[in-house]
């Protein structure tokens, strides 16, 4: 993916938002004081727009976020807190059947309820909500990684019932992924954690220390310790 600033600055529609264009240009140059001042002016202007104009801006911006990387260069705290969050929250109330504000809130904004927003997007948008689907799977894989990332030290940080349920839910979600290669990659990761969980359960029935040696003796081939990171 291309850096978000590159995508925005070359976009033809940017001229419609001159203050936002100025903010992005100054941000690219690393002029912190100047770009925050410009962003503040843009936010003040955007707050004067009606909801339709604000939604048009959000649709344009989030569409660029979905095809870019390093979005944190643009999605800075004042923009999120003062403009985008209030807008998406009003949008969800005024049009609760539209999956887009739920998707964008869950994928891009800081919230403790990411999973809830993403599930709502999936409920409303079905199989069209591939980004919400993939983000949910990534969240689950990261949770599984956390459970097992000290397993080579005989330290399992998860809950067997919860991780078993999480694996089942993740497989169900992954069956809806349209990209075959992505689905295959996710299945490989899920199989890895399923095998690891099964072996840990078996190991704890026999002993309490020496999981690495136990795996070696059983001919298990695990990567100690491998972290899985996935792009959104």
Taking only the tens place, the pLDDT of each residue in 157-216 is 999 999 999 999 999 999 999 999 999 999 999 999 999 999 999 999 999 999 999 999
Confidence of residue 227 (pLDDT cuts 50, 70, 90): very low
Indicate whether 102 and 181 sit together in one domain: no
Residues 174 and 115 in one domain: no
Assess contact for 17 and 57: CB atoms under 8 A.
yes
pLDDT at 232: 41
Q: How far apart are CA 96 and CA 117, in angstroms?
A: 12
- Residue 136 and residue 118 in contact, taking contact as beta carbons nearer than 8 Å: yes
Domain residues for the domain of 225 are 129-232
Encode pLDDT of 114-125 as tens digits.
999 999 999 999
Specify whether 133 is located in the same domain as 41. Answer: no
DSSP 49: S
Q: What CA–CA distance (Å, rounded) separates 178 from 71?
A: 24
What distances in angstroms separate CA 9 from CA 5, 21, 104, one per listed residue? 6, 7, 21
Residue 44 has pLDDT above 70, yes or no: yes
Residues 20, 74 within the same domain = yes
For the stretch 70-87, pLDDT in tens is: 999 999 999 999 999 999
Looking at the structure, tell me whether residues 145 and 113 fall in a common domain.
no
Listed residues 74, 105, 128: the one ending a domain: 128
Token pair of 75 as six digits: 């999605």
Output the average pLDDT for the chain. 94
Give the SS3 label for residue 17.
coil
> What is the pLDDT, as a whole number, of residue 231?
44
Same domain, 43 and 142: no
Q: Do 171 and 219 fall within a single domain?
A: yes
- Last residue in a domain, options 128, 148, 171: 128
State the pLDDT at residue 228. 41
**Is 60 exceeded by the pLDDT of residue 223?**
yes
Identify whether residues 136 and 118 lie together within a single domain. no
The pTM of the full predicted model, rounded to 2 decimals, is: 0.90
* Domain total in the chain: 2
Q: Which pLDDT score is estimated for 171?
A: 98
Return the number of other C-beta atoms located less than 10 Å from residue 33's C-beta: 8
The reported pLDDT for the residue numbered 225 is 41
- Say yes or no: 36 and 114 in one domain: yes
When pLDDT is cut at 50, 70 and 90, the band that residue 55 belongs to is very high
**Predicted pLDDT of residue 221:** 85
Instruction: Say whether both 157 and 81 belong to one domain.
Output: no
User: Residues 4, 115: one domain?
Assistant: yes
Based on the domain organization, do 78 and 183 belong to the same domain? no
Q: How confident is the model at residue 230 (pLDDT cuts 50, 70, 90)?
A: very low
The residue from 128, 146, 166 where one domain ends is 128
Nearest to 225 by CA among 156, 167, 154, 150: 150
Mean pLDDT computed over 33-48: 97
């Amino acid at each position: 993916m291309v850096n978000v600033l590159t995508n925005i600055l070359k976009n033809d529609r940017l001229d419609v938002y001159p203050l936002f264009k100025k903010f992005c240009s100054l941000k690219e140059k690393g002029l912190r004081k100047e770009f925050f001042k410009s962003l503040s002016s843009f936010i003040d202007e955007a707050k004067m727009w009606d909801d339709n104009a604000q939604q048009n801006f959000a649709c344009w911006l989030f569409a660029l976020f979905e095809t870019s990387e390093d979005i944190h260069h643009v999605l800075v705290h004042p923009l999120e807190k003062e403009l985008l969050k209030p807008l998406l929250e009003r949008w969800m109330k005024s049009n609760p059947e539209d999956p887009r504000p739920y998707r964008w809130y869950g994928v891009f904004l800081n919230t403790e309820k990411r999973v809830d927003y993403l599930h709502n997007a999936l409920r409303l948008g079905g199989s069209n909500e591939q980004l919400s689907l993939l983000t949910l799977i990534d969240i689950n894989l990261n949770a599984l990684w956390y459970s097992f990332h000290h397993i080579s030290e005989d330290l399992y940080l998860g809950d067997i019932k919860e991780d078993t349920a999480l694996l089942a839910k993740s497989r169900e979600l992954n069956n809806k992924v349209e990209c075959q290669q992505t689905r295959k990659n996710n299945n490989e990761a899920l199989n890895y954690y399923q095998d690891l969980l099964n072996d840990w359960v078996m190991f704890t029935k026999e002993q309490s220390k020496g999981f690495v040696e136990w795996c070696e003796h059983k001919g298990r081939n695990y990567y100690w310790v491998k972290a899985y990171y996935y792009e959104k």
